[in-house]
Structure 1
Amino acid sequence: MATDITRALKYSVILHLAADGALTAVVPAERIRALQVPSQIRWPFIRYGSPITTGFEATCWSGASNRVTLHAFAETSNAGAGEDIALDICALIVDRMKIFAPADLRLIENEWLSTDIVRDGDEADRWHAFSQFTITAVPA
């Protein structure tokens, strides 16, 4: 039977991103969050999206395959256009996930699938970009 690693993977991804100096130079570590964020969080920020998890089993391996979405929220500021900032944050996320190596999980697959961007609500200067990954892992 497969093993659900949804929670462990969520925290491993958040800790990985929050510990990355290149990323935290743009988004402070305290603004890299799980699914729930404070209602008055400062922008820019990153949120781990609702994962889609399915079982994974192979010879001697029991884990899960996860569709993970990492969201970047940005607004127009002195740093530039909100849409460009959001896309730059997602590009950093994609780059930094290339070296994702959690201590408590053994990665089988870690693939970037796509990045998309939309305006956040009716605000012309607020943007929401999101990158999707397939991450398959088993407990270490």
Structure 2
Amino acid sequence: MAQDTSLAARRAILTRLKAEAPTSGVIAAASIYPPQTPPTRAWPFIRYGAATQLPWKPTGADGSLIAVAVHSFARGPGEDQASRIGAWVARVLDGAVLDLSAETGFPATARVRHTGNTTLQDPEEADAWHVVTNLEIIVAS
């Protein structure tokens, strides 16, 4: 039976980003949020996006495939800072292997793969930029 492990994966990803943030020089750990961000927040910041979870059962294994984007927001001038943050997110997470067992209550491992970044100018703020870092997470249990 397939388990929805998207919440466990989200928590593990946010924990990994927050643990790496102090040495990054690009983002503060306190500025890394789940999908809901506080109404007042310091720029730059990161927000975990809405995830799509699908059953994944290769060769009889029980798991899930999760597609999600991590969103990085920064103010200019230009997109440089947002791009640096997006590149950092990709570096930290691409190839990560995360143990989800404590969160799920059963043995589960998440393998993260970076599948690309998109840089956008924020239409609501002339000097704000947004980088979408796309991830594919395969959870096997």
TM-score, scaled relative to structure 1: 0.87
User: Normalized per residue, which structure has more helix?
Assistant: 2
Cα drift, residue 113 of structure 1: 1.2
Percent identity at matched positions?
28
Q: Which consecutive residues of structure 1, in runs of 5 or more, have no partner in the other structure? A: none
Q: Which consecutive residues of structure 2, in runs of 5 or more, have no partner in the other structure? A: 101-107
SS of residue matched to 2:99: coil
Find the counterpart in structure 1 of residue 103 from structure 2.
none
Cα drift, residue 99 of structure 1: 4.9
Superposition RMSD in Å: 1.6
Identify the match of residue 86 of structure 2 among 90, 98, 103: 90
Q: What is the letter of the counterpart of residue 122 of structure 1?
A: E
* Superposed counterparts of 1:12-23, under 5 Å: 12-20=12-20, 21-23=22-24
| Displacement over 4 Å in runs of 4+ | none
| In structure 1, distance between residues paired with 2:5 and 2:61 | 13
Find the counterpart in structure 2 of residue 136 from structure 1.
138
| Residue correspondences, number | 133
